[in-house]
Structure 1
């Protein structure tokens, strides 16, 4: 009996040690984030148009049909989530991107990101979805629904690159007791420098927020994956240059989106009352 009590005591001490470590990490992270918040301006809302300053909503039968088709893809995309994040083998801290030139007119891009958040995973997911709804507030859908869809026209100009764009984007949130998943699917038609109307790209995204450990639900992990298939018009005389410029533009856009997702969650929850941050 004495040996059994000794084993139970040691097991309890080990568990308490693990929990203290998790709590210490969470407190250090919160303190760091609070310092960052004082010196960092509030980020813009999460948007598929972060680098596209001039945009307006687009409607019509063609736009609605495209959105319906994209929404139908979200169900199968959800089933790919574990495979996308390497079946659970993705490290908790990661930031990487890759590009593969398939041909002189086609490029595949991928962005992977993972990091800790010092908040309950459901509170973090609610903050993220609120930001998503805010950026899609012009849509004719129920703001409390789990699916958002958007069609718009936009343009971008810089010294090296300018284009007009028709965009269609959809996203859906899946809320479970063990994690929250947001999947997105988008299509964009580009008009490059008033020519090259055959240029386009598709964008599939996954965002997962889940507990970092079974015994530390107040510490969560944010995982993000974006996969882009870019095609430029084969009739462009300098198609490879456009392929390179657009690839750089899209990767930079994804970096900003990841930062906006993370900082948006942190800023919202650091400013929220304590009962909204933990469950």
Structure 2
């Protein structure tokens, strides 16, 4: 979290390793610093795990969760060994090419990684630049914390906040995201699966997130009021409910909702 921030100093090897609970507590410290009482949280993969844990420990401070390809279980042996390999690469070689390729496989779908005619997309190039800007020792410490995470499954039903989950169908965390949605329950959670997409839905198909998030925010009363001037020629009434919409009409079409023009499908209706 803070140790991954752009421009952060390299953490001394003498500083004790942080646990996932420590990272969740750091979120509370950041909120205190900025004087924030209750917040909506958005996190991706391991960051989504940390924010879910934060919501469990500080339920009174979390209004809602937007999670992208989240994890909630302890790492499998396969993931644990894979992370160990990544940590060894970081320790001996830093942010090398092999490590970047391993991370890209976690982040993005095959279609985006190879792109048209094998050319790298702008999203991939931007991600590679961001990886180069991170301090390798700090990334390694974060991986160590995530590799020691504990299973949150039993406590998911205790989450008191509304949760919106996005997951790419090509994400290695797809099954775990579906599991997490099932355990939270349809009353408090909506799952949106995005086709032809990896873990970072925010980067690969951000437009697929637009309508679900807007409906999600409407459930909390966050709604843009669009004011229209009255017109006797068209008979419009500026005070009518239809004159105040937070979603453009074209986004409410089947194509805008992803019914005809995929890539999204939802497992549950979002309550408004």
Same fold per TM (> 0.5)? no
Structure with higher Rg: it is 1
Question: Normalized per residue, which structure has more strand?
Answer: 1
Instruction: Return the TM-score normalized by structure 2.
Output: 0.23
More helix by share: 2
TM-score (normalizing by structure 1): 0.23
Larger relative contact order (Cα-Cα within 8 Å, sequence gap ≥ 6): 1
